[in-house]
Every structure is written in C-alpha cells, then in structure tokens.
Structure 1
Amino acid sequence: MGVWIRRVLIGLVGLVVLVVIAGAVFVASFDANKYKGVAIDWMKTHKQRTLVIDGPIELSIFPRLAMKVSKVTLSEAAKADNFAAIDSAGLAVDVLPLLHGEVVVGRIEAKGVRVTYLRDAKGKSNIDDLLTPDEAPKTETASKPVRFDVSGIELADVKATVRDDKSGTNGQVLLAKFKSGRLANRVEAPVDLDLQFDFKQPALKGNLTGETRLTLDMDTQSASLKKMNLGFKGDAPGLSGVDVALKGDVAWDGTKKSVNAQDLSVKLSGHTGALKHDGTTLSIERFAFEPDAQKLDLRKLVAAVKASQAGQPITLDLEWPELAVAGKSLSGSAFSGKLSRGGDMPLSAKFKSTAPSGSFDAVNLPGFEAQVESASPQRKLAGTLRSDLVIKPQPGSLALDKLDLQAKVEEPGLQPLALNIRGNALASAQKSSWNIAGQLNDNKFATEGSAVLAGNTPQINAKANFDSLDLNKLLTKEKTPNKPAAGNADVPVDLSGLRAVNAQVSVVAGRFAFEQYKVNDARIQATLDGGMLRITELQGKAWGGQLNATAFADARASRIAIKGAATGVDVNALVKDVAAKDWIEGNGRVSFDLDSAGRSVNELRSRLQGSAALQLRDGAVKGINLAKSLRQAKAALSMKQDASQKASQTEKTDFSELSASFQINDGVARSKDLDMKSPFLRLGGEGAIDVGKGRIDYVARATVASTAKGQDGAELAALKGLTIPVRLTGPFEALDWKIEWSAIATQAATKQLEDKLSEKLGLKPAAGAASGAASKPTAADALKKGLKGLFK
C-alpha cells in the first residue's frame, strides 16, 4: 500500500513539474502582438470603429494576468475622427481569485489619455455603442457576484473633452495626477489628486488639488472622505479668482440619501459676486442631514466673513451653538451675530434670536431682532428690524413673518425720513417674494412681488403703490438739474445696467417728483428683458395737462426711443423742465415720436430721428417784440438796412394760435409749416433746429394783417399786405433776431406807388376822406378826376 502511495505522489510531482515546465515554455513563447489584428478586426466588425495599436503589447500570466499597451487610438463610430487616444496603459489582475469568480486588480496605470464625449440635444451620445453589450449565449449557470478590489491606481495626463448639448455642458477636464492606495469595498484608501477644469458652460476654470482618504461602500452606493485637505483655485459660477481650502470629514449614505460632516472648515479668498473676500472662514463641528428620516443636526456653527465691496470693508460674525431636529421634535439654542461695513458711510448691526421651536418641516426662530446704526457726516441711520424667522429645510427657504421695520434717516440738505414697514417676505434658492406696506413720513405705500435669482439673470415681478413718491427727498442731489457741463465736456450714457435683471414692474403714485419733474396720478408699466426696457404705459398729469407716452431702451445697441403726447399743457413749463429754455408761452398739445442711439449725451443728440409737432393758443414767442420792431419800418425802409437784435427775455410777440411740425434726421429738426396768428400779424416760416450742435437757423415771414388794433397797429399801416422776412439764427444760448428790411424795400416802394395811383384814380379813398354812399363817385367821375390829377 505504501508503495502505491509513493508512486502516486511521485506521479503528481512529476505532473506538476511538467505543467510548470509547459507553462514556462508557453509564457516564454507567447507573442501577444500576433493578436493585434484580432482586436482590430473585432472592433471594426462589431463596433464600426477603427482601432490602431502602434506600440507593442506586453503580456504576463502568473501570478497576475498583466497587460501593457502603448500608442493606441480609437475612432468614432463609423467616422475617421478620433474618439480616444492612449500613450500608455497597464492593467494587472490576480489569477487565483479569478478561479473563484472574483476580480482582484493588482494595479491600473494610464498616461497621456485623450477622450472626447459628445451628446446631442436628444440624448444620443458617442459612447452608446460601447455601453451596449454584444449578445451572449444564454446559460442557466448562476454566476457569483464580482468582488471589486484594486490594489492601486496611478493616472497622469488624462484629458476628457465634453460637449453635451442636452445639459449645456461644454469644456475640458484634465486629470494631471491621480494616485490611490487599495480601493476595495469598505476599505479606506489614501488618494492624492490634481484635477484641472476649463469649461465654457458652466463657467468653470481652475485647479482642484489635495489629498484625502476615500472609503467606498459598493453595497449601499455610499462614499466617505476623511482627513480632507483639498484646495480649489480659479473661477466658478458666482465665483472669480477664488482660493478655497476645505478640511474635515464628509460622508454620503446612498441608502439614506443623507450627508454627514465632522470638523468641517472652509477658508475663502477671492470674489463672490460684488464681494471680495480676504480670509472668510466657516467651521462646523457637526452637520447631519437626513431628509427621509426628517433629521437635522447642527453643532457649533461659526462663520466669520472678512470682505470688501467697492473698497469698503465688510465683516460678518455668526454663531449658532446647537440645533437638533428629529421629525416633530426640535431642540436647540438661539443664534447671534454682528455685521459691519466701513468707509465714508459706515454701518453696524447686531442681531439675535430666541430659542428655536417647531419641527423638521418648519424651524421657527421667533423674536429675531436686528439693531442697525450708521453715523457719518453724510448720513445718520438708526433702525430696528423684528420678525419671526421660519426655516424650511425642504425645499430650503427662509420666511420672515410679522416683519416690522422702523428706521430714521437724516442727511444734510434733506428732510429727515421716518420709515415704518410691516409685512412678510420669503427667500429661497429658487424664488423670493414679499408683500409689505408702510409709511415714509406721512406718505403711505404698499408693494408686492417676487424675484427668481437662479440662472444667469435675476427675474423680478413687482408692483408698488405710493401716495407720494418724492425722490428729491430720498436721493442726495449731486448737481443742479439741467446745469450744462463745463465747456464742451460730454456726459456719458451707460445703459449696461439694464442687462443686470429681467423684470415686470408696475408703479402707481398719487404724486411723483424727481429733480424738476413733478407728476400727479403717475402710472408706469414696464418690462425689462435681455437688456431691453419697454415702458408700455407712462402717463400722468404734468405741466397743467395730461401726459401719455411709451418708451423703449436697448442696452445692446445703446438706443432710446419715446413716443407720446402732452395735451392741455403749459408749454413754457414743459420746455423749461425738458430743455431748460425759456422761449415760448402758451397752452395746447405737444406730440413727439423720437429715436436715437449713442453712448453719450452729445452722440444721442446728433443721431436724433423722428418727428414732433405742437398746437398752441393764447401765448407768446419770447425774444423779440415784432410789433415794436416793425414800428421802425419807415426809417428802416428808407435806409434799406437790416435790423438785428439779440434775443431778450423781456420782449415777446403775442399770438392767439400757433402750430408747427418738425421732421428730425441726424439731430436736425426741420419745419416748413409754421402758422402763427395774432390780431395784427400772420407768421409762416421754415428752417432748421440743429439739436446736436445746439443751433437754430429759421426764417419766419411776417404779414401785417390789421393796423386798427393790436400792438402799435397805427404805426404799421405802411407794412400792411407786405411779407417781412425775420431770421432767427445762432446758438441756443445767444440767439439773434434779424428783420431783413433790405428784402422788402422795393416791395414797399412799389406798394406805395400802387396806393398813390389807386388814390389818384379814385379806386381808393384818400386818407381822412369821409365815407358813405352819398359821396361815392361814379366810375367815370373817378377816372376823370384821376387823370386830371396825374397831369397837373
């Protein structure tokens, strides 16, 4: 028996030796490069992709099945474009665990990898064919679950280009370095990474570096990061030029959909919106959030914001020792903090709450109070804000119930303001809203609306109603209204602020005042979308009449347009307010349809287009008294010289009716239909008003209509029936009036001769002759008498 046992053992040993020798010979003689063609053909046949392997294939079998490849490229499906390229890559798998249905990867290495991911708007991507497995013969043999176990990963220079039209993602991510220890289920592994982002959409460009210890739980799809020491430098949506340092422990539970953080700290420098941070910090001893179980646990939250805005320092300190919520049960402590802003107009505030109550659905912080103070030579402010705060973790919102704000503001040169507001407000990541009412001094107001701050441009819908809105009492005057710029200095016009927000706004004010403009029963309806402001309703009572208009402004083209009419207005008050000129008096209608584009006031004036018209009654044109000037007709006609005079505000020419229309092109308004009437004069005319250059060149043609009444009528008999040119020229600030007597001297002499001849012929009664039917001569007597007179 022992002999047979010995023989069997000898045979087994010999068999093992033979297998080892055969394996050694197989490994030594195996050439994996002979199978390149098989892989290339398979990829071409099954995936319609072109696989190129320009480098050698290295293969080892025991104790690990290991393979290395280099200089590999793979095309897009049915295209010659490159989908992926690899400079070098290696993979090693332990052989013995494979016999038990387990995968134990010894290492994964890759360097110089380039891959492109594309997805269209319908969701079709360029990797769909690679993710779809080929059909395999069905087998009823149950397979064991694969055990994930990788002893190490080392990646360098791995770049992915992503263009996803469905999600709007477009950019590149470069994994400059990724090195890990053993990655296996529920095994903690060290990780060291250097990840770079360069995305156009979303706007993300920067570098994430650092180290942590990663644990994966494949059974629950969970992960945890311990001893994080990560940093990000760059730009992200809402962030620019930031340097963020993150430390602590964070865990995600895939089964509970919960987050758990321990000893978490964040330090931030750089810009967030309009704030520039310089060492802002946030620390949390513990934070746990489990929405399905309605649990929230917060311990020792401390925030310290150190920032500046427009060069003004801003600090915020907040402490919240404890908050614990579990369903309907809630306990915790009050929070407190302070806020300050420095600069020429400093501001300080202290705030606090009482102990919280409520439940997971609504955490109540009653009795919130903030005391605000500001003291500077420019402004003094003191106020108190009280409200009940309600925090709703889902969907994540903050409500201010029973809001009560009382404040007093004092500024030099302005009436002291007392503000009293009551109402409610709600703020969340998706949408904010408000509904408040109050008083500003003795003036009541109410406003309601909503704001969506998510996305690239905030969206605001708001309504407001004021008994009286006097902005002159609210805004500090920086300059005198309508005061011209010194010399030829131009004033820039910047409409870029219209791009900052999209809005629908409705404003009603019983009385409205801004600088020199005063409007009663004012109503404004406006929309703002993509930098385009459309005022669909602009009406009110102004200048003693009614204003109705619409307006448009486009920030992209720097264009402004306004169309409307002012009816029954005092035109003198209107022109003084709008143009700061005192040229004309009267009441009536002014209509306008104006359009211009430019980035300065002078440019807007020089590009003005459109039309305007006015119809007035019972007024006067200021600058000249035509009746007074025409009294000098006899002397002026004899000398045949034009008479010039500077416009004077003490002189004016009355009219009973006046109308004119203007066509405006490139800043020049031209008129051909002036029609002005008075008891003794009729005026027509034409000319141009150059708005861009601030000059006038206009010729009025005056005709004496009656000499019996009106201003100095008896002195105008010699001009009755004549048309006298009156030229108005010069800059707006120094107009010249010129009566062109030389143009009518011959006309006047001819008229005098005709009048004398008619008188001699008896066709016209002599001056001072009695009138009446009894003294009227016959035609024959008149002719006889006239001829006699001619030949004396």
Structure 2
Amino acid sequence: MKVWFKRGLFSLVVLAIVTVVGGAIFLLTFNPNSYKQKLADIVQQKYQRTLKIDGDIELSLFPRIGLSVQGLSLSDRNSEDPFASLESARFAVALWPLINNRLVVDHVAVTGFKAWIVRDEEGKLNFDDLLQAPPAGPQLPVARSGVSLLPAAQAAEAPQEKPVEPAPESLPVPELIAKRSGSETDFQIDIAGLSLKGGEIHYFSKRSNVIGRLLQLEVNTGRMTFGQPFDVAFKSRLSGDYPVADGVLEGQGQLSLDPASKSYSAQKLSLSFVGDLDELQAQSLTVKGNVAYKSAQRQFSATNLDTQLQGQWLGAYPVSDLNATLSTPKMQIDSVSDLVSFEKLALRVRGKNEDQNLDLALDVPRIQVSPAQAEGSPVVASLKVSGPRVLGLGLTLQGLSGNSEELLFEQAKLDGAIKQGSRVAQLKASSLMQWQPSNEWLRLPEIQANIRVEDEADAGSRFEMPVTGQADLNKGKQHYSAQLSSSTEQAQGSLDVTLQDKGKGPLLDAVLKADKLDLDELRSIFWVTAPEVVPATEPEPQAEAPEVAAEQEPAAEGGEQTEQQPKAAEADAAPPAEEAPEETTSYAWLDKITFDLRFEIEKLRSLGVVMDQVKAQVKNQGQLINLSQFNAQAYEGQLQAKAKVEPGKRFEMDLKLQQMQVGSLLLDAFGNDYLAGKGNVDLNLKAQGNTQEERLNALEGGLTVDLHDGSWRSVDLDQSVRDINEAVRNAFSGQIPLLLPESDPLRRTVLSRLQGSLDIKKGQATFRNLRATTPILTVTTAKGSTLDLVTQHANVTLQARLNHNNLAADERKSFQDLRNVLIPIHISGPWAALSYQIQWKDIASNSIKKALQDGLLDLLSQQVSEAKTESRPDVKSEVKEIIKEELGAKVPQTVGEAMKQWFKP
C-alpha cells in the first residue's frame, strides 16, 4: 500500500509540475494579439462589419481565466460608420465551474462604451443582424467547456477536409443559446456583476427624425443570470436635438432577462427625470411600479404603476404649476392577441394658465377587450377651467360591448358649460358610438344635442338650439364628415362638412343651407365677450378738438385748420403698426389646409344688413382667400361682390349694388343714412401692406354712384342758398339768418339725382366728376376736391348754381341776385365733424360784393364771435345717442369708423 501510495503521490506531483511548467511555457510563448486580424476576418465574414482592436489583448489563466482588451470598435453593417466602441473591457472566468457546464464570470468592467443606434424608414434597427445567427457559413468547432473564440480562430484558418453543411435554419441568437443550453450541454452563464462608466448611447430615427443621446452613462448591476432577477442602477444625462431635451435620468430596479422566451421585466422599478423635454420643464418626473414585456407576443403588462410629474408646460397654451399623476394597479396590452385590460386607471392634471386654473381628470374603473368580447365600467373624463371665464366639460362613455375589432358604446355623452359674468352657455350632446381601433374609425350615427344660453341677471333671457345629425371620423382613410341640422327662430338649416386628405394636404368642404339665419342675434347670444365695436364712442373726444376749432376759428383761417388736423390724425394712426409681427403668424394655418365653403341662405341678417336668396362661395389657396361669388337680393335691389384677401397683407374687392335703396343699407349697416337714394353703386378697392396704416396709404380703386330720389344728411344746401339770399337782401338792415358752419345731422339735402365718380390712389380719393340735382340747385365739384382716406379728412369745394326755372313764380324775383351765380361752398375737417364754409369772396356777383362791402362781412364775423360765447346744445351728439339707442349701439356711427374696420387685419 505504501508503494502504491508513494507512486500515486509521485504521479500527482509530477502532473502538477508538468501542468505548472506547461502553463508557464504557454503564457511565455502564447501571444493573443496575433489573433486580432483573424478575429476581424471572422466578424467581417459573418456579419459584414469591421472589427478593430487598437489596444493590446491580455490573457491570464491562473487562478482564473482573465481577458482584457482596449481600444475596440465595431462598424455598422457594410459601412465604415461606427456602431459601437469601448476604451477598455476586463473580465475573469472561474475555472472549476466550467467543468460543471457553468460559465461564471467574476466581474465585467467596461469603460468608455459608446453605441450609435439607427432606426431606418422601415423601423429596423442597425443591430438586428447581430441578434440573428449567420444564415450560412462554416461551423466552427466548439470546445466542450462552452464558447472559445481563440480555438475557433485557429479552426477558421485550418484547411477543411470535408465540405461543411450549412445550418438547417437561421435562428435568433437568444434561441440558439436557449436551444444549446437546454438540449445539448445545459450550459449556464453567471456574471457576478457589471460596471460601466463613461458610456454614451446615440439614437437617430429616420422614420420620426428623433435625435437623442444618453451621455455620462453609468451602470452597475448585481449578480446576473438569465431568467433570474438582478439589481440594476444607472445614471445618465439625456440630451436631444429633436425633440429638444436636456436633463438627468436615473433609475434602479430588479431586471430579469430571459432570451429563450424573449421575456424581459423590471420589478420595483423607479425612474426619475429632471430637466427639459421638448416643451416640458420637469422639476420632477418619476415612474414607479412593475413592468414586463414579451417581445414574441408583443405583450406589455404593468402592476402598481405610479407616474408623478411636477413642472410647467411651455407650449402654445402654457401651463405653470403643473401637477400630473397617472396610476393603475394592473394593466395589460397584448398586440398579437388583441387583448387590452385596465383596472382603476386614474389620470389627474392640474395647473395654471395666466389667471385661469386647469383641472383635468380621467377615470377608467375597469375595461377588458378581447377578440371574443368587450366589457367594462363607464369611462368618465372631465375638464374644468376656472377664472374670469369658467369652463367645464364632462365626457362619459357607458354600455361597452362588441369586441376588439369593433367597440360599441350605448351612449357617449358630452356635457359642457361656459360662464362669464352673468351669462351661461350650456351644451348637452349624446349619441351611440362605434369605434374600430384597427381602422381608426369612429362613428356617431345618432347625435342629439341641445345648446342653451341664459343670462342670470335677466330671468327672461333664455335661448335654446336643438341640433341633430351624425358624424363619421375615419382617421385611417383621412376622411372626416358630419351632417348637422337645426331649427330655431334664429337659424333654420343644415350644415354638411367634409375634411379629407388625398395626399395634397387637408381639404375642407362645407355646405350651409338655411331658410333663415340671423347672425347678429346668434352673435349677441354666443358672443360672451362684448364686441369690439361697442366702445366706438371712446375715440370721439380726440375728434372733437378739430370740430371745436372749426367752430371757433373764422372762415378765413379754415386752410390752416385743414393742415393741422391731418397731423394729429397721422399721430393717432401710428400705433397699429406695432401689431405687424402678430399678423404674420396668425394665419400660418391657412398654408396647411385648403377649404371650399358654400352658402345658400334664403334670409340672412348679418352686421345689421338683411339679405334674401344669398349664394356665396369662399375658397383659399394658401393664405389667399377668394370670395369667388356673393349674390343676394337686398333693399329692393341686387348685390354682387367678389373679393380676394390675404389677411394682414393685401386685399381686392369689387362690389356692385343695382337698383338698391342705399339709405336703408347704410342705416342698417352703419347706423347712419348720411346718403340715401335708389340706384347703382360700383366700388372696387385694392391695397397691400403689413399694417392697417400701410394698406390705407396704398389703397387704390374707384367709386361710381348713380342715385335718384335721395338725400344727403348733415347739410341742407337748398336752405343754405335761401339763407345766403336772405343775408344778401337784409345786409343793410343788420338782421341776417344764422349761417351754420358745422355739420348738423338733423339737416338734409333732398337730391333728385346724384351722379359721381371717385378715383382712389395711395389713400387719396379725387373727384373725377360730381353732379347733384336738388329741387332748386345743380351742384358740381371744383377741381382739386379730395377725400383723405388715411386721415379721414375732407377737402371738397362744391359749386352750387340756382335752377331759376325750378323756383316758384313768387320766389324768382327774390332770387334775382343769385341768378346765374356760382356759389362755392368749401367742406373741410374730419368726417365726423365736417365744416361748411361759403367762399363769399369767390362769388361772381356784384350785388353780393356790394353787400359784403356794406356790412355783410361784419355781420358774419359777429355770428362767429357770438358762437364762441353762446352755449348751444350739442345737437349732433344728441342725435348720435338717439340713433345708438334705436340700433342697439351695434355699429360705428361714421363712415370713417366703418372703413377702419374694413382695413383691420
């Protein structure tokens, strides 16, 4: 026994010595760096990628198999662009576990890892080929202990005696690992831990143009084994170009990877982000819970999910003090099997927008959808906006049935209310709802709605509008349509709307047919904020100053007043130019949509104007809006209009009135029938500019008028001529009638016929001709008579000649001094306060000149002096107030104010 023991012991010692010496000789003679090129050739052959190792490869065998490498990089497939690189990597493998078919890696340390991930237009990632086994190639010998790269490299260079049969199929690498570990060697991989420092992951999606990166990435894990959870903690800086992102991203949890079944999960997950993400400024964004994903079934599930957000939103509708939560104890989405399940899903969003508080809530108690059936509890959502204006919306979906192909809700109910001041508007709507998620198709076939508006301050003020119809919203085909109808005292008609996209952008097609439509009444009901035209009397104090000056200054100083007043008006017109930047951005949405709107209305009331048998069509080409047709019957005549408008830039308009009562039109439209009569009016205007002032200064066009049996408010020329005649005849007696120099709304010139035309250029209207016939006069204009449309001032000289034959027999003799005499009357000042001055010195009459020399001029000067001290009631203001009360103060009181509205952007 002792001999055998000694021999056995001696053999073991010899074996140990041989092993140590052999290992020493191997370490001294073996150079792993000589296999760099061989490894690069294998990678190029199997994956068409370029592998570079710029540093040294270091190998150790005792007490563990250790490998370290530096300066490693791998390119994209068939490209020189980098896919991944690392500065250094180091790991060690225990020897004894290899005997038991276990690969135990002591620790993996990686420094400076970088990866560039790209998703192409079809959604494929640039590393998908690495997750697939090579489709064909030589089968490399595999060591019994598992995977051995260096012997494989040697075998790659050795001559092959027999042709190698290709693999029967190409399986993903995880499946190959699972197949090999389960059926061949039961091989297991166990990594004691992984630490990664100074990592970067760059991502670019050609499909969505998303560009982002993770910088300063640090990852630390616990013991890693496939199929078993292990601890993971990471920290990185998230940076993005599109969308813009900059913040710190941290996370930890228990990660489980099972490549065999393609299952991945994270338990006790805790993610946090602080920073900017697109238009979101996140002071704190956290996600906690348990999540799992099975890629083979495309199944996502989560339990105890809780998301918290605090920050602010900087979008078009900014929200500060933003607080949002999303939580659910259980949810599951299975794309392959069409399974969706939610339990107690709750969303809450709160925040502030300027002086308004926002509150959004969504509750999904329970929903289960499968290919067999769909069931669940009612889904409830609500939105509340409180502040100066209170808004509330509530949506309820109940009675769920159907299946994953088509969901049916017995009732989709929408309740809404808006309140400002004492006025409250309410909306109640409901319908059966059909939804096909896969086709993105939503139908509301039985819409029943009611709109109610009432004023709490006025118990009798209440309005209700019932609306019925249907809607078909097909996002899959980019086709949306709705048919609505209503019948009330203010609106009786139907609206057919279609929005579709055939590859050239959205096209909106709408047809409105109505027996009756009162837009003024509807605007007064639904316009919660008072219209801008209500405070039209505020600018009047600025216009009164020139009016007072016109009354106080003598007639000889009229020219000086005319020069001063335009300067004041130009100063007032300057501020609107500051609004130019807003105009350029307000209508950008017109470039993204094309619309064709048609109207057929039997009776229409808008802006005070009443029209019958209205037919109109409005189209657009980008930001150019084209009113190609507008025909109507109104005020005993016909109205035709065409227009082209590019909001904030330019416009063109052609308006024709045929055999129309112009006075009734002006009275309803502007609240003042300063010109009346029946006949024809042709108006064409065009202008361009970025501001209202620029457009007025560039205004061009013309106006032609031919009216009969009409009148002109603010002056009575016939009576003025009679007063002139009396003044001349009674100059010697010292008693002459009062010759009013200012405009008087109570006075009116009766016109038998009025014919005239204006040429408009650069905002200045010049009289080409004017001829008006009154019962006793023929009136024309002198050369140089103009209207300044920019400053809204007049500089017109009328020439009145007595129609001696139209006088009564007893009057002819008394008017003998004015026979064949041309009487010039100069009209000047702002349109709101015109001044009428008789040019006495320009009257070619010997009797009048003699009367002026004999004291008439002194009497006229005395009238002006008495007007300065005499306190007379403001008849014009009183008449304005009466007109305003009669018409509800809904329109401007002067032509100038009306034209200001036309030229607003």
- Per the TM superposition, whether the score is higher than 0.5 is yes
Between 357-366 and 430-439, report the one with greater CA deviation.
430-439
Name the counterpart of 1:776.
none
The 1-side partners of 2:279 and 2:347 are apart by 19
Name the counterpart of 1:192.
233
Name the counterpart of 1:17.
20
1:693 aligns with 2:791: yes
The 2-side partners of 1:200 and 1:147 are apart by 38
Between 717-726 and 613-622, report the one with greater CA deviation.
717-726
Give ranges in structure 1 of 5+ residues lacking alignment: 751-792
Paired residues for 1:361-760 under 5 Å: 361-369=405-413, 377-381=421-425, 384-396=428-440, 398-411=442-455, 415-425=461-471, 433-440=481-488, 443-449=491-497, 462-466=510-514, 467-470=516-519, 471-476=523-528, 477-478=530-531, 480-481=533-534, 483-486=536-539, 487=542, 488=572, 495=583, 496-499=585-588, 502-503=592-593, 504=595, 506=597, 508=599, 509-527=601-619, 533-542=625-634, 545-554=638-647, 558-568=648-658, 569-573=660-664, 583-586=674-677, 587-599=679-691, 601=692, 603=693, 606-618=696-708, 619-630=710-721, 632=724, 645-649=741-745, 650-652=747-749, 654=751, 656-665=753-762, 668-678=763-773, 680-681=777-778, 683-684=780-781, 685-700=783-798, 702=799, 704=801, 706-709=803-806, 725-743=824-842, 745=844
Aligned amino acid, residue 264 of structure 1: L
With the length of structure 2 as denominator, give the TM-score of the two structures.
Answer: 0.65
Which among 225, 231, 241 is matched to residue 272 of structure 2?
Answer: 231
The 2-side partners of 1:66 and 1:39 are apart by 17
Aligned amino acid, residue 787 of structure 2: I
The answer to whether the 8 Å contact 1:436/1:446 transfers is yes
The 2-side partners of 1:523 and 1:153 are apart by 76
Name the counterpart of 2:217.
177
Paired residues for 1:223-262 under 5 Å: 223-234=264-275, 236=277, 243-262=284-303
Identity %: 15
Which among 383, 394, 402 is matched to residue 358 of structure 1?
Answer: 402
Q: Deviations over 1:545-581 (max 9, x none)?
A: 4142223234xxx324141213124444555666776
The answer to whether the 8 Å contact 2:49/2:74 transfers is no
What is the Cα deviation at residue 205 of structure 1? 5.2
What is the Cα deviation at residue 692 of structure 1? 2.4
1:218 aligns with 2:259: yes
Name the counterpart of 1:774.
none
Q: Deviations over 1:557-612 (max 9, x none)?
A: x324141213124444555666776543333223222224345x5x3564442213
The 2-side partners of 1:499 and 1:324 are apart by 43
The 2-side partners of 1:560 and 1:150 are apart by 75
The answer to whether the 8 Å contact 1:409/1:416 transfers is yes
Aligned amino acid, residue 475 of structure 1: W
Aligned amino acid, residue 300 of structure 1: K
What is the Cα deviation at residue 499 of structure 1? 3.6
More helix by share: 2
Secondary structure, aligned partner of 1:361: coil
Secondary structure, aligned partner of 2:112: strand
What is the Cα deviation at residue 674 of structure 1? 1.9
> CA distance change for structure 1 residues 125 and 219 in 2, over 3 Å: closer, same or farther?
closer
What is the Cα deviation at residue 410 of structure 1? 0.2
The 2-side partners of 1:585 and 1:104 are apart by 101
Name the counterpart of 1:771.
none
Aligned amino acid, residue 707 of structure 1: H
Larger relative CO (CA 8 A, sep 6+): 1 or 2?
2
Aligned amino acid, residue 703 of structure 2: A
Name the counterpart of 1:107.
108
What is the Cα deviation at residue 21 of structure 1? 0.9
The answer to whether the 8 Å contact 1:540/1:548 transfers is no
Paired residues for 1:328-347 under 5 Å: 328-336=372-380, 340-346=384-390
The answer to whether the 8 Å contact 1:605/1:692 transfers is no
> CA distance change for structure 1 residues 104 and 376 in 2, over 3 Å: closer, same or farther?
same
Aligned amino acid, residue 760 of structure 2: Q
The answer to whether the 8 Å contact 1:417/1:440 transfers is no
Name the counterpart of 2:876.
none
> CA distance change for structure 1 residues 348 and 633 in 2, over 3 Å: closer, same or farther?
closer
1:326 aligns with 2:418: no
The answer to whether the 8 Å contact 1:615/1:658 transfers is yes
Secondary structure, aligned partner of 1:390: strand
The answer to whether the 8 Å contact 1:93/1:104 transfers is yes
> CA distance change for structure 1 residues 76 and 305 in 2, over 3 Å: closer, same or farther?
closer
> CA distance change for structure 1 residues 499 and 282 in 2, over 3 Å: closer, same or farther?
same
Aligned amino acid, residue 190 of structure 1: D
Secondary structure, aligned partner of 1:292: coil
Aligned-pair Cα RMSD in Å: 5.5
The 2-side partners of 1:473 and 1:498 are apart by 27
Secondary structure, aligned partner of 2:341: strand
> CA distance change for structure 1 residues 749 and 434 in 2, over 3 Å: closer, same or farther?
closer
The 1-side partners of 2:603 and 2:317 are apart by 35
The answer to whether the 8 Å contact 1:565/1:591 transfers is yes
The 2-side partners of 1:92 and 1:371 are apart by 65
The answer to whether the 8 Å contact 1:160/1:173 transfers is yes
Name the counterpart of 2:889.
none
> CA distance change for structure 1 residues 265 and 529 in 2, over 3 Å: closer, same or farther?
farther
Secondary structure, aligned partner of 1:483: helix
The 2-side partners of 1:524 and 1:302 are apart by 49
Which among 271, 288, 296 is matched to residue 332 of structure 2?
Answer: 288
1:268 aligns with 2:309: yes
Secondary structure, aligned partner of 2:805: coil
Secondary structure, aligned partner of 2:704: strand
The 2-side partners of 1:652 and 1:735 are apart by 15
The answer to whether the 8 Å contact 1:104/1:147 transfers is no
Aligned amino acid, residue 294 of structure 2: D
Aligned amino acid, residue 167 of structure 1: R
Secondary structure, aligned partner of 1:23: helix
Secondary structure, aligned partner of 1:169: coil
> CA distance change for structure 1 residues 561 and 158 in 2, over 3 Å: closer, same or farther?
farther
Secondary structure, aligned partner of 1:328: coil
Q: Deviations over 1:190-233 (max 9, x none)?
A: 33334544444345555543223333343455433332222344
The 2-side partners of 1:393 and 1:485 are apart by 56
Q: Deviations over 1:484-522 (max 9, x none)?
A: 543448666854443457552525344444444444444
Q: Deviations over 1:87-111 (max 9, x none)?
A: 9343547597999999979535233
Report the count of equivalent residues: 726
